C-alpha cells in the first residue's frame, strides 16, 4: 500500500496559476478516461460535466459518492438506468470499465462462490451500460507473506477468470484482471492469462504497479503482456518500492511518457485512464486539480509535464 501524499505548496501553487490555461482544453491526442475512485464526493452530474469539459472520452466506474457497490446504486436501478444511459450519451461519453472488488484467489468454497457471484453482478451492470470491460483482482490473503502467488493460487485465479469469461462472453463483456497486489509481475500474469485461455478474459494494465512493485520497464511489460492489454491505469508517484507517494502526473519518477509510447507502439486502442486514489488517500490533491491536470499533461503532452511548461 502506498503512503499518503501531501503535495508541495509549490506544486499546488503552480496548478492554481495554470488553471485558466488548463481550462482552455484542446483536443486530446489519445482517448482519455478517469476512474471515479478519484472523485468520491462528486455527484453523478458533476462527474459527467467535468469529463466533458476537460476532453475526456470515457469514465471508469469504481464507486459513486463513496459507495463501491455499484450495482446497488440508485442511478443503476431498473427504473432509472435508461435515464442514466441517456445522460452518458448526451455527454458524449462512454463507460470504459465497470470495476469490482472481486478477488479470484479465494480457496474456501463459500467465500469463492460469493466473490464469483459478486463479479457476475458487475458483469450484468457492465452489459447494461454497454461497457466492454469488468475488472477483478487476483487478490492476496493477508496472511500470505510469499513474494509471489504459488501455483495453486494461480490455478484458482485462472479458473475463476475462465468461469467469469464464459458468463461475460454472451453479455458482450470481457473480464479483465488488474496488475495489482500479488499479480504485478509479467511472468505471473502471463501464466495466469494463458491458463485462463479465454477470448473473454484480458488484462487491465496498471502501469504504475508493474513499474513500482515489480520493477519492470514499460517496454518489457508491454512486450510480454501486450496481446492481453485491454484497459490501462496511469498515475505518478515519488519514492521507491512500497514507500511511494502519489503526485501530479509527470512530476514523479514513474515513466508515464514511456508507458504511453509502449502502448502506442503495439497499436493499443483502449483508453488511457487516470486512477487517482483519492478514496484510499484522502490527503492527496483534490480531483478538480489532479484530473484536470492529467487531461492536460497526458492528453496534450503525452505524459511529459515539461513539454506542457509545468517543470
Query: Taking the domains of the chain in order of start, what are their residue ranges?
Result: 9-299
Whether residue 16 is predicted with pLDDT greater than 60 in this model: the reply is no
- Residues with Cβ within 8 Å of 184's Cβ and at least 6 positions away in sequence, in order, are 206, 209, 210, 213, 214
Task: Give the number of other CB atoms < 10 A from CB of residue 264.
Answer: 14
**How do 272-274 and 243-247 pair as beta strands?**
unpaired
With left for phi above 0 and alpha for psi between -120 and 50, is residue 208 left, alpha or beta?
alpha
Among candidates 89, 260, 235, 102, which has minimal Cα distance to 177?
102
pLDDT tens per residue, range 85-140: 999 999 999 999 999 999 999 999 999 999 999 999 999 999 999 999 999 999 99
pLDDT tens per residue, range 41-91: 999 999 999 999 999 999 999 999 989 999 999 999 999 999 999 999 999
- Structure confidence at residue 25 (pLDDT): 56
Backbone φ and ψ for 260, nearest 5 degrees, come out as -65, -45
Residue 64 gets which letter from DSSP? Answer: B
H-type alpha helices, the chain: 9-23, 44-53, 81-90, 109-128, 151-168, 186-196, 207-212, 218-225, 256-265, 287-299
Task: Give the number of other CB atoms < 10 A from CB of residue 290.
Answer: 24
Say how many Å lie between the first and final Cα of the chain, rounded: 28
What's the CATH code, domain 9-299? 3.20.20.150
pLDDT tens per residue, range 140-175: 998 888 889 999 999 999 999 999 999 999 999 999
Rounded CA-CA distance 39/35 in Å is 8
Amino acid at each position: 500500500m502506498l503512503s499518503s501524499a501531501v503535495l508541495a505548496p509549490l506544486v499546488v501553487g503552480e496548478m492554481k496559476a495554470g488553471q485558466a490555461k488548463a481550462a482552455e482544453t484542446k483536443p486530446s491526442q489519445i482517448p482519455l478516461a478517469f476512474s471515479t475512485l478519484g472523485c468520491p464526493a462528486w455527484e453523478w452530474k458533476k462527474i459527467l460535466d467535468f469529463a466533458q469539459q476537460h476532453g475526456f472520452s470515457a469514465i471508469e466506474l469504481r464507486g459513486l459518492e463513496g459507495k463501491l457497490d455499484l450495482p446497488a446504486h440508485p442511478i443503476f436501478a431498473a427504473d432509472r438506468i435508461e435515464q442514466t444511459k441517456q445522460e452518458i450519451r448526451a455527454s458524449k461519453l462512454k463507460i470504459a470499465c465497470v470495476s469490482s472488488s472481486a478477488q479470484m484467489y479465494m480457496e474456501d468454497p463459500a467465500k469463492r462462490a460469493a466473490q464469483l457471484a459478486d463479479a457476475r453482478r458487475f458483469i450484468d451492470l457492465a452489459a447494461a451500460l454497454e461497457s466492454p470491460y469488468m475488472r477483478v483482482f487476483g487478490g492476496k490473503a493477508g496472511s500470505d507473506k510469499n513474494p509471489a502467488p504459488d501455483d495453486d493460487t494461480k490455478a484458482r485465479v485462472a479458473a475463476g477468470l475462465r468461469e467469469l469469461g464464459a458468463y461475460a462472453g454472451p453479455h458482450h463483456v470481457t473480464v479483465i484482471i488488474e496488475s495489482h497486489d500479488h499479480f504485478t509481475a509479467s511472468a505471473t500474469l502471463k501464466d495466469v492469462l494463458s491458463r485462463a485461455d479465454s477470448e473473454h478474459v484480458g488484462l487491465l494494465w496498471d502501469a504504475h504497479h508493474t513499474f513500482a512493485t515489480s520493477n519492470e520497464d514499460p517496454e518489457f511489460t508491454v512486450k510480454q503482456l501486450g496481446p492481453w492489454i485491454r484497459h490501462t491505469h496511469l498515475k505518478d508517484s515519488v519514492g521507491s518500492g512500497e514507500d511511494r507517494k502519489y503526485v501530479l502526473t509527470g512530476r514523479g519518477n514513474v515513466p508515464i511518457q514511456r508507458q504511453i509510447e509502449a502502448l502506442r507502439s503495439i497499436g493499443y486502442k483502449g483508453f488511457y485512464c487516470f486512477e487517482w486514489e483519492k478514496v484510499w488517500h484522502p490527503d492527496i490533491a483534490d480531483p478538480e486539480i489532479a484530473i484536470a491536470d492529467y487531461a492536460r499533461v497526458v492528453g496534450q503532452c503525452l505524459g511529459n509535464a515539461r513539454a506542457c511548461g509545468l517543470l
